[in-house]
Amino acid sequence: MYIIAPSILSADFCCLGDEVDAILRPGGADWLHFDVMDRHYVPNLTLGPMVCAALKKRFPTLIIDVHLMVKPVDALIVDFIKAGASYISFHPEASEHLHRSLCIIKEAGLKAGLALNPSSSICTLDPLVLNLLDYLLLMSVNPGFSGQSLVPGILDKIKRTKYYLDSHQEKTGQNILIQVDGGVNMDNIREIYDAGARIFVAGSAIFGAKNKIAAIQQLRSLLP
């Protein structure tokens, strides 16, 4: 099982609806990864809940995976729940009360994730927090901009994280999926899969292609 989630950050914002439509045709994306930045937590400013709600209205069955790179997070979590998000992740450093922020997501019936920057470790997360997670987003670049290359050593970090989560699953029965965001392309997706990831956020590799469906299918062909 794996998920291909094109990152909206790499889409052409002048024709955003058509760009999303192009990745949802038969054989296309499983999810849409929706990058939210506030120019405070990260040095960029992107999209808000109104855009998410508009896309959900046009594409009612679309699974929208919201990645909040904002601080603070709780108010925007609520806004994106109302806007139609299916999955919401945020960075631990951005929440004053991590457990409470995750509970807001879970109590609304959504899937909850945490996003870890390249320098952050899963070992700092308490089991009380892990028990609320459906997935863990590992940033393979420093957050803020699209089109970056993988940070050196990230494959080893994915492997270490997978080992840690497998140990947690043996104790609890809980399966937490690993999502990787940043620099995913045709040349490295298989290595990232082999390291333990199952959700792949690809931006430029998909939205930068002339034929977006063909790009998605090529990514799929490289996975087992």
What residues are annotated to the active site?
A: 35, 181
Neighbours of 210 (CB within 10 A): 6
DSSP 15-74: GHHHHHHHHSSTT--S-EEEEEEBSSSSS-B---HHHHHHHHHHSTT--EEEEEE-SS-H
Helices (H), the chain: 16-23, 49-58, 74-83, 98-107, 127-130, 154-172, 189-195, 204-207, 212-221
